[in-house]
Amino acid sequence: MSKFLKTPIDYLKGVGPERVSLLQSELGIYHYEDLLTHFPFRYVDRSKYYKINEITLASAEIQIIGKITGLSEIGQSRGKRLVARFADETGQMELVWFKYTKWMKENFEKMINIPIVAYGKPNEFNRTFSIIHPEIETLENQKSAPQGLYPVYSSTEKLTKKGVSNRVWQKMQMQLLSEIKEIEENLSDDIILKFNFSDRLTTFRQIHFPKSTEELKKAEDRLKFEEFFFLQLGLLIKKINHQRKYKSNEFSVVGKYFNEFYENHLPFELTDAQKRVVKEIRTDMGRPVQMNRLLQGDVGSGKTMVALLSALIAADNGFQTAFMAPTEILAQQHFESMKNYLSEMDIKIGLLTGSTKTKDRKILDEKLTSGEIHILVGTHALIEDHVRFKNLGFAIIDEQHKFGVAQRAKFIRKGKFPPHTLVMTATPIPRTLAMSLYGDLDISVIDELPAGRKPIMTVHRKDKDRLGLFGFIKTEIKKGRQIYIVYPLIEESEKMDYKDLMDGYDSITRAFPLPDYAVSIVHGRMKTEDKDFEMQRFAKGETQILVATTVIEVGVNVPNASVMVIESAEKFGLSQLHQLRGRVGRGAEQSFCVLMTKDNLTEDAFTRISTMCRTNDGFEIAEVDMQLRGPGDIMGTQQSGILNFKIASLVKDQKMMTTARYIAEELLKDDPELSKPENQKIKQHFAEYHKEKIEWSRIG
């Protein structure tokens, strides 16, 4: 923004040194700009006043003109409260404070018997209406308050205690706005015209003191657009720069490996979505710039086959592929299934994990450096420094969008040119979230399940239904199916959860005794070999029930398992529930998911459970998850810095985000360097914005 807005707030009239230092320490407000962008978090329509006899219990927040006729402190210790009797010509009510300071009490005493305005949401108690913690001020004062919508600012307890009330916030903003003569434009005339935006100064005036909801909406739209637009511009420029910087191997042919497999060994017809994504990847890798692609596809959508086909294209061009999975079990499974698929082809696959023996490892190393191995499947062991390839051209990172993006960097050093990378995730991310976090990557989506899959039926059951559940499990086992029973394991309460798991295991072995039934158990306290052994027994069908903690969450594939029972389902997050459910429904049989919960659920838990019962669509579930938890929590704190929008919301303003992305794309298509005269305002603002972002990321 302009130099003027970089003025320290010390210079603002009416703000003394004590407030200055509080604004700095409490809210990080140092400059005019920081204050100006401390936007109201809500607005109150203060054009209407109520009479006390008009109050009903259904009244929302209202304001009443009246007088305080008396003040008293009532009750002892924790129940202690300050009660003001408040009256107008139509009746009486009470204003109540449970938290108050001596200063506040003295202040209220001064207001006795002069006209005041009380504002808040009325309650009824002992047949008297009351407002708990109302905002109050003298009628005299209120006359000087802004007309129209009344802005309410977020503040801190310390600031409030030091007298920085909402009115003071308003006064500071008014003072600031009166001092600003002009704010530099940061958008092009073209964009402003297209959206019919007001100029920036008007926009800031209207966001703080809107005269109507229409004015407010207009100001909000512009500010939200700016936030999304400059974020998207940054991501897109990063993407363009990346493509310039990272030359890579051009996979120019689709040759015998791919074609032979596709024509003779493909075990099923690809879904249209799989075909589309393979094409996207093929086109990408056919260019001499590094592919940087995120593949999103729900559990069971068939990402592995897409990965395999892409690896064959690499092989066709004489390059090796590294395929990294997050766990040993998964790496093993990918290795086995790929070996199966490729058994009749002249393609060599290797497996490298933490438990690969030194002897085998030596052989593997040789085959890798000689180029005999085409595809190396493994765990994190793959990115260790001593793993050398003859010519690594392609890196696939499975089930790890959170870390995958960082791990790409480690693969970059392993080829002559950085290998093309494909990060695959079965945790669908809402579109707008993906756009802001991974907007510099290309994103492919498999949004279709293979044909013939029956949607999993999900039901909600409680403890009293347990006998019925056991009966149901028995029928399913009689049909030859297998069952997962999952218990939560949450770190803070690990001991208790462990006990729940063991108690559960006991009751299940009692209900499903040998020799008719065999039950496996897998949990985090077991040794890796023991875990693997039990998992294998279940995978081979030697046991019918697998009791487990969430270790089976990611990727495990036992197509014959058709029932997923989740105990204490209310303790799981939505994406975890969805991941777990994805373990069933992999074969041709009708599959079931049973969510067991206690009787009384919180509203949040109820939403999670009923969402699961309503839909199987991972993207829809991810949207609900984002609404419940907010975008920051979904992704963890690490990445949430990018998501610190001042006014825009990834949940509520998805359309605006998509629009901003589109406008940024169009702009860069037309003027990739932002060198045209009409785009100079954008360029200048972006340079400043970008500098701040970079500084922020250094700190963060």
Residue 276 CB, nearest approach to ligand ADP (Å)? 12
| Near ligand ADP by CB under 6 A: residue from 302, 378, 393, 488 | 302
- Part in contact with ligand ADP (CB under 6 A); list of ranges 47-55, 80-88, 298-306, 431-439: 298-306
Rounded distance between C-alpha atoms, residue 382 and residue 395, angstroms: 10
Degrees to nearest 5, angle at CA 130 with 92 and 99: 130
Closer of 583 and 681 to Mg ion (Cβ): 583
Q: Going by C-beta distance under 8 Å and a sequence separation of 6 or more, which residues neighbour residue 485?
A: 504, 508, 545, 546, 547, 548, 565, 567
C-alpha Rg value of the chain to the nearest Å? 31
Binding site for Mg ion (CB under 5 A): 555
| Near ligand ADP by CB under 6 A: residue from 93, 172, 236, 299 | 299
Helix or strand (DSSP H, E) at 352: strand 349-352
For 1-32, b where at least 16 C-beta lie within 10 A, e where not — what string?
A: beeebebebeebeebeeebbebbeeebebbbb
Instruction: Return the one option of Mg ion, ligand ADP, none that residue 415 interacts with (CB less than 5 to 8 A, by type).
Output: none
Q: Is 331 in the site for ligand ADP (CB under 6 A)?
A: no
Structure tokens at 190: 């073209």
Instruction: Return the one option of Mg ion, ligand ADP, none that residue 300 interacts with (CB less than 5 to 8 A, by type).
Output: ligand ADP
Rounded distance between C-alpha atoms, residue 577 and residue 298, angstroms: 13
| Near ligand ADP by CB under 6 A: residue from 297, 404, 415, 504 | 297
Which residue is closest to Mg ion by CB? 555
The Cβ of residue 321 has, within 10 Å, a number of other Cβ atoms equal to 27
Q: Is 271 in the site for ligand ADP (CB under 6 A)?
A: yes
Q: Is 557 in the site for ligand ADP (CB under 6 A)?
A: yes
DSSP 417: S
- Part in contact with ligand ADP (CB under 6 A); list of ranges 89-97, 295-303, 428-436, 525-533: 295-303
Q: Length of the chain, please?
A: 700
Closer of 248 and 616 to ligand ADP (Cβ): 616
Closer of 38 and 303 to Mg ion (Cβ): 303
| Near ligand ADP by CB under 6 A: residue from 91, 115, 286, 450 | 450
Closer of 425 and 432 to Mg ion (Cβ): 425
**Whose CA is closest to 404, among 331, 333, 324?**
324
Closer of 313 and 657 to ligand ADP (Cβ): 313
Q: Going by C-beta distance under 8 Å and a sequence separation of 6 or more, which residues neighbour residue 476?
A: 483, 562, 563, 592
Instruction: Return the one option of Mg ion, ligand ADP, none that residue 450 interacts with (CB less than 5 to 8 A, by type).
Output: ligand ADP
Closer of 74 and 266 to Mg ion (Cβ): 266
Bridge partners for 675 per DSSP: none
Q: Is 560 in the site for ligand ADP (CB under 6 A)?
A: no
Residue 653 CB, nearest approach to ligand ADP (Å)? 30
Q: Is 268 in the site for ligand ADP (CB under 6 A)?
A: yes
Angstrom distances, CA of residue 44 to CA of 41, 122, 211, 398, 588: 10, 15, 11, 49, 57
Closer of 274 and 544 to ligand ADP (Cβ): 274
Rounded distance between C-alpha atoms, residue 574 and residue 577, angstroms: 5
Closer of 131 and 351 to Mg ion (Cβ): 351
Instruction: Return the one option of ligand ADP, Mg ion, none that residue 271 interacts with (CB less than 5 to 8 A, by type).
Output: ligand ADP
Closer of 451 and 467 to ligand ADP (Cβ): 451
Q: Residue 515: is the preceding peptide bond cis (ω within 30°)? A: yes
Query: Residue 211 corresponds to which amino acid?
Result: K
- Rounded (to 5) percent helix, strand, coil in the chain: 50, 20, 35
Residue 404 CB, nearest approach to Mg ion (Å)? 13
- Part in contact with ligand ADP (CB under 6 A); list of ranges 130-138, 292-300, 402-410, 545-553: 292-300
Instruction: Return the one option of Mg ion, ligand ADP, none that residue 575 interacts with (CB less than 5 to 8 A, by type).
Output: none
Q: Is 618 in the site for ligand ADP (CB under 6 A)?
A: no
Three-class DSSP category at 479: coil
| Near ligand ADP by CB under 6 A: residue from 206, 301, 353, 543 | 301
Q: Is 322 in the site for ligand ADP (CB under 6 A)?
A: no
The Cβ of residue 369 has, within 10 Å, a number of other Cβ atoms equal to 14
**Whose CA is closest to 323, among 446, 420, 428?**
420
Closer of 622 and 660 to ligand ADP (Cβ): 622
| Near ligand ADP by CB under 6 A: residue from 12, 270, 412, 518 | 270
Return the residue matching tokens 């592919």.
291
Closer of 184 and 617 to Mg ion (Cβ): 617
Closer of 249 and 562 to ligand ADP (Cβ): 562
Residue 31 CB, nearest approach to ligand ADP (Å)? 49
Residue 481 CB, nearest approach to ligand ADP (Å)? 16
Closer of 557 and 590 to ligand ADP (Cβ): 557
Rounded distance between C-alpha atoms, residue 48 and residue 60, angstroms: 12
| Near ligand ADP by CB under 6 A: residue from 300, 326, 439, 488 | 300
Q: Is 586 in the site for ligand ADP (CB under 6 A)?
A: yes
Q: Is 87 in the site for ligand ADP (CB under 6 A)?
A: no
Evaluate whether 578 touches 299 at the Cβ level (below 8 Å): yes
Residue 349 CB, nearest approach to Mg ion (Å)? 16
| Near ligand ADP by CB under 6 A: residue from 173, 186, 188, 274 | 274
Evaluate whether 417 touches 245 at the Cβ level (below 8 Å): no
Q: Is 470 in the site for ligand ADP (CB under 6 A)?
A: no
Three-class DSSP category at 637: helix
Q: Is 304 in the site for ligand ADP (CB under 6 A)?
A: yes
Residue 412 CB, nearest approach to ligand ADP (Å)? 24
- Part in contact with ligand ADP (CB under 6 A); list of ranges 14-22, 297-305, 637-645, 680-688: 297-305
Structure tokens at 182: 């002009």
Structure tokens at 117: 């305005």
Residue 299 CB, nearest approach to Mg ion (Å)? 7
Instruction: Return the one option of ligand ADP, Mg ion, none that residue 270 interacts with (CB less than 5 to 8 A, by type).
Output: ligand ADP
Q: Is 296 in the site for ligand ADP (CB under 6 A)?
A: no
Return the residue matching tokens 């320290």.
8
Structure tokens at 40: 């109201």
Residue 77: left (phi > 0), alpha (psi -120 to 50), or beta? left
Angstrom distances, CA of residue 392 to CA of 320, 321, 662: 5, 6, 35
Instruction: Return the one option of ligand ADP, Mg ion, none that residue 557 interacts with (CB less than 5 to 8 A, by type).
Output: ligand ADP
Residue 336 CB, nearest approach to Mg ion (Å)? 13
Count the helices and strands in the chain (H runs, E runs). 25, 22
Instruction: Return the one option of ligand ADP, Mg ion, none that residue 302 interacts with (CB less than 5 to 8 A, by type).
Output: ligand ADP
Q: Is 305 in the site for ligand ADP (CB under 6 A)?
A: yes
Q: Is 303 in the site for ligand ADP (CB under 6 A)?
A: yes
Evaluate whether 626 touches 634 at the Cβ level (below 8 Å): yes
Q: Going by C-beta distance under 8 Å and a sequence separation of 6 or more, which residues neighbour residue 390?
A: 320, 368, 369, 370, 371
Rounded distance between C-alpha atoms, residue 50 and residue 643, angstroms: 40
Which residues are near ligand ADP by CB under 6 A?
268, 270-271, 274, 297, 299-305, 426, 450, 557, 559, 586
